[in-house]
Amino acid sequence: VMSDEWQEEILPHKQMMAYYRCAIMEVETKFRVLNEELSLCYDRNPIESIHSRLKSNASITKKLKLKGYPINVETMEKYLYDIAGLRVVCSFKLDIYHLAQCLLQQDDIRLVKKKDYIQNPKANGYRSLHLIIEVPIFLENEKKWVKVEVQFRTLAMDFWASLEHKLRYKKVIDDDKESYIAHQLLGCAQMCNDLDDKMSSIKEYLE
Ligand code: 0O2
């Protein structure tokens, strides 16, 4: 459903959302190709699963308002980096960095921004490697660069982030419970990280 703010922009907005969908397809295909190729080289698939999502119009409007920008296609394209989102869930931490490197060395990919929440976890324990990239979409008469946010996580990082999101999302937590819950969740994040490291050392031992 289009909110009132977008009414005058229906066609360009629809067009832009179609470009974001195309960009998701392009990048997803790149990862599927890499997974095939790497599974031939190393005899295992580094990617456990790929999820994609397009930000809803309501979330786009909310984020633009929050950042204090007018609601239109230009501001959406310029200031929002996560309208097209891909989450690549990998087996091991090393797979994350290898896949990120393989993606970034492709000559039709531009890196806009990198946030490494694995090297520098968020204070609440969140871990993931975020890349904002631009990928070209070939249209009838032009080539358009479209932004995509790629989040790389291990299974353990994804487990933690999914449950943390479920537990907290749209919930008002009492002040007296807040610090207890934050502490517990941080402990769980640490356990997930320990699991990742243990699984990696088992892998290394076997090799
Ligand atoms: P959704 O529903 O996934 O879209 P920016 O986009 O750069 O203006 P920010 O917050 O600096 O905003 O971006 P950042 O830190 O790279 O994180 C954006 C996304 O990472 C979030 O998207 C989440 O998907 C994920 N994320 C970041 N921190 C956490 C966290 O503490 N817990 C969980 N579960 N996920 C996190 P959205 O838009 O919040 O949500």
Residue 87 alpha carbon, nearest atom of ligand 1: 24
- The residue type of 179 is S
Cα(198) to ligand 1 centroid in Å equals: 27
pLDDT higher at 176 or 68: 68
Minimum CA distance residue for ligand 1 atom 11: 115
* H helix count then E strand count, the chain: 6, 5
Ligand 1 within 6 A of 69 CB? no
- The CA radius of gyration of the chain, in Å to the nearest whole number, is 19
- Confidence category of residue 4, pLDDT binned at 50, 70, 90: low
Local structure of 174: helix, strand or coil: coil
- 171 — pLDDT class (breaks 50, 70, 90): confident
Q: Whose CA is nearest to atom 39 of ligand 1?
A: 165
Give CA–CA dist 61/2, Å, rounded: 10
Residues 18-66: pLDDT tens digits?
999 999 999 999 999 999 999 988 888 999 999 999 999 999 999 999 9
**Tokens read off for 204:** 């290394």
- The answer, yes or no, to whether any atom of ligand 1 lies below 6 A from the CB of 20, is no
165 in ligand 1 pocket by Cβ < 6 Å? yes
Residue 43 φ/ψ region, left for φ over 0, alpha for ψ in the -120 to 50 degree band, beta for the rest: left
Task: Identify the DSSP state of 114.
Answer: E
Half-sphere exposure of 129 (CA within 13 A, CB side): 18
**pLDDT the model gives residue 175:** 81
Nearest to 86 by CA among 139, 142, 133: 133
